[in-house]
A and B are shown apart, each in its own frame.
Chain A
Amino acid sequence: MRTSIAPKDTGPLQKREAKLAWGMLAPTLISASLVVILPLIAIFWISFKPIGLADLRVPTPKVYERIRGDFNQAGDEAELQYRLTNSSPKEAITGVTMRDVLPEGMTILQLDQRCTLEGRNLFCDFGDLEPGYRERIKIPFSANQAFIDADPNPRDSVAQLTGSSNSVLFDATFTLDNFIKIFDGREFWKVIGVTVFYAVFGTIGALVVGLFAALLLNKSFRGQGILRGLFLFPYVAPVIAVAFTWVTLFDPFSGSANALLIQMGALDQPINFFGQAPQALIMVTVFEIWRYFPMSFLFILARMQSIDTDMYEAADMDGASPFQKFWYLSMPQLLGIISVLFLLRFIWTFNKFDDIFLLTGGSAGTRTLTVSVYEQAFAISNIGAGAAVAVVIFAILVVFSFFFFKYGSQEEGL
């Protein structure tokens, strides 16, 4: 009897299918690499660059022209001035030339050596401008009557400037200064500590609160749908709205929370919840728990509702108490989703930027790594240092993802 054997190499049909698959994935892959992978490469590149926010603009020469002097009658002398600057404090501009059309009725008395005049067309070749260069080019002239009558503005014809300079972004200067700067000092380790506190307690808190909420709603009663909807509010509302609401609510002067605590006799003095060192970090963590417990709640509830009820009936027969049922029956079933949620939420909390940025702006001891990226790049205008922090974040995330794939993927199919 012959046994049929599957063909080993890929047949034409299979090849066509693979081709179609890649074709259908191509738009996603291309867009993802453009917006994710290229920026990641760029971050690595920039992190080794001595670059600030101002360096993003390629330095260009600038000129300002004006006429100095009084003239009342034909033949009076005055000066045409060009103020030439290179505003970049670091970069030279090479091959700078200027073209301008002079107003009518000027008799040039003496021309700068670097300039030539053909009819009314002025052309100057200034060569290279050093960083921070500024010079006033003075061209004395005498005006005739037509000039005085017209009283022209020299800026009516705009002076055309050329000149090139290399931007720091693309040249070959590299430096380790950014990394040295961010690792230097205790500040960095403080930031790491804050980030870990925020991520660990924010994640665990959201999971525990979410589990409790799921236990509450894991039975059908009237109003269950309404409560479930209500519990999801913090997660669905725009972060900016709820963050500002919290800031308003906990304001030391006009916030209801302080007023309430004082009225109830729990406090003597209003507390600056988001403005002082220890409590600000606790408050942003509480906010994180408040905002993201609905997510844990949803996933855990979905898992709970899919647990077979037979098991509980059997346990009832055996006389298990409610806590025993929860601990010995429900928990083992929920461990899978809880561990996956822990990993996911830990990574997301670690990555979170908006919440802290909106609540405290990273002040009062709440600066996490992600807020530090923004702080370095935009507040201190040191893009290179910001990128270096981003690289550090990325390195930590690679480690996380490794764990995620190693331990997370066997459970729950994530």
Chain B
Amino acid sequence: MSLLRYGYVVGTIIGLLWGMTVSVCVAIGLSLLTGAAATPGLLAAMPAGAIAALVLLLAKNKQASWLFAGSIATLTGAVLLMLRFGQPFGISLEINTTGQILALVIFALGTALPLAKFLKGIPFGALSRHEFEEAIIRFLTGFGYVFFTAIVAIPFFVMIMTSFKSQQALLANPLDYSLDFSKGWDLFRSYVELFRDFNFGQYLVTSFFVSVMTVLITLLFSVPGAYAVARLRFKGQAMMSRSILLIYMVPMIVLALPIYIVFSMVGLRNSILGILLIYPVTTIPVALYMLQGYFRGLPAEIEEAGLMDGLSRLKVIWQITLPLSLPAIASVSLYVFMIGWNEFLLAFMLLDDPSKFTLTRGVAMLNSSEIPRQHLMAGSVIATIPIMLIFLGLERFMTKGLTAGSVKG
């Protein structure tokens, strides 16, 4: 450990690793966006990163002036260019020249600037334990941002871009996600076909209807229940507040089997009514659990004042508790909406009739060898976009809803 604690050792290691990270990312990005067969060239990129790190350390890395950072970046880029004999990404610069130059600039800046940040205040020679750990943590943080962004963004990028491609193009070069804008509106062909031939407009409406109804029914059941568990005293109150969550631990597939049998016998299969009978029950327990946590946090005095002034319990709930808990109700509604919208298993088992499908069931239908991949991905995009829009618009509520009630804090 003490052998490691020298600025030049830590700097070299961080430089090597960071050079590798950035070059892999840039090469992947270049390949996916232009279709060029770019390779990262680790044997060149890693030394480039290490050299940049050592220069930064030697120059004491005092002020982060733009000129200084720029010259380090230029140096990094030049080293990469030199070590790969003028082909920074393993392909001739004549192919997609602007793209490659842009990628080279991104590599140079993306290597040099973060390295300057990682190694700020780190001396060239012996390091204290603080300086050592600080540098490691800064590097890991930077790596973490890149890593997490990549693993989350790439699948969604692939989903969206595949929906714009054709089957032949995908088979010819699976890495080429560049868009051919000359096709114009023809790019959206998969979407047009889904809405025209596969009834996806109706599935959207059905899914929306089902999710909203699920939210309403869930609230109707869980608000009084949560209030009772949180505020009223009765025998079994403690047991109730715990065991309600037990329902959440029964696997859906175990319930789905008898529900399937009963619904087949009474003819509720293939009906939206049947779906609406089941969905809320899967969400009521968790909604009740979240709401009762919130109700407990509300000051009881206001309600007691209401009771003193002659309001009945139900009126207290309606006029005092509910208006006070609107944020919690919004969170719970969003969460339940998300569950209803994303639900797949029950829809898959209970719905066979294409005229009654929900969106997730509709997407499942597209997973067949006769239907091209881009249709499946376009269907996935259609199913994902509404929930994402709602999520991005109301992220604050959503994150609160997801954690509500379970963390005392």
Contacts and interface: CB of A to CB of B under 8 A. Distances in A.
A347 interface: yes
A222 to B, nearest CB: 13
A172 interface: no
A215 B148 CA distance: 12
Contacts of A323: 133, 137
The 6 nearest A-B residue pairs measured at CB: A351-B251, A241-B380, A18-B234, A306-B409, A24-B224, A21-B232
Contact of A240 (B144, B177, B257, B383): B383
Given A298-B403, A351-B251, A405-B242, A242 B133 contact: no
B228 A24 contact: yes
Contacts of B158: 245, 248-249, 256
B257 A390 contact: yes
Interface string B207-220: 00000000000001
B364 interface: yes
Interface of A: 14, 17-18, 20-22, 24-25, 27-28, 31-32, 34-36, 38-40, 42-43, 46, 56, 169, 212-213, 215-216, 225, 227-242, 244-246, 248-249, 251, 253-256, 258-260, 263-265, 290, 295, 298-299, 302-303, 305-306, 321-323, 337, 340, 347-348, 350-351, 353-354, 357-358, 370, 373-374, 377, 383, 386-387, 390, 393-394, 397, 400-401, 404-405, 409, 412-414
B145 A216 contact: yes
A299 B406 contact: yes
B225 A230 contact: no
Interface of B: 24, 27-28, 31-32, 37-40, 129-130, 133-134, 137, 141, 144-145, 148-149, 151-156, 158-159, 162, 170-171, 173-175, 177, 220-222, 224-225, 227-229, 232-235, 237, 240, 242, 244-247, 249-255, 257-259, 261-262, 264-265, 277-278, 280-282, 284-285, 288, 313, 338, 341-342, 344-345, 359-360, 363-364, 367, 373, 376-377, 379-381, 383-384, 387-388, 391-392, 395, 398-399, 402-403, 406-409
B257 A386 contact: yes
B175 A260 contact: yes
A303 B228 contact: no
B337 to A, nearest CB: 11
Contact of A340 (B31, B225, B255, B406): B406
A353 B252 contact: yes
Contacts of B224: 24-25, 27
Contact of A28 (B39, B137, B284): B284
B258 A241 contact: no
Nearest to B251: A351
B257 A232 contact: no
A257 B141 CA distance: 25
Contact of B234 (A17, A302, A390): A17
A28 B155 CA distance: 39
B292 to A, nearest CB: 11
Tell me what chain B mostly uses at the interface: helix, strand, loop, or mixed. Answer: helix
Given A35-B277, A236-B387, 4 more contacts: A225-B395, A260-B31, A305-B409, A377-B257
Given A24-B227, A31-B281, A240 B250 contact: no
Contacts of A17: 232-234
B287 to A, nearest CB: 10
Nearest to B277: A35
A394 B247 CA distance: 12
B377 to A, nearest CB: 6
Nearest to B284: A28
Contacts of A246: 155
A46 B261 contact: yes
25 contacts: A17-B233, A21-B233, A24-B227, A24-B232, A27-B224, A35-B255, A40-B258, A42-B258, A228-B395, A232-B395, A236-B388, A238-B341, A238-B384, A240-B342, A241-B159, A248-B158, A263-B37, A298-B402, A299-B407, A303-B407, A321-B130, A353-B253, A373-B253, A383-B257, A393-B254
A297 to B, nearest CB: 9
A340 B25 CA distance: 36
Contact of B407 (A20, A337, A347, A386): A337
Given A20-B232, A239-B344, A253-B171, A390 B249 contact: no
B221 A232 contact: no
Contacts of A394: 250, 254
Given A236-B338, A238-B384, A263 B175 contact: yes
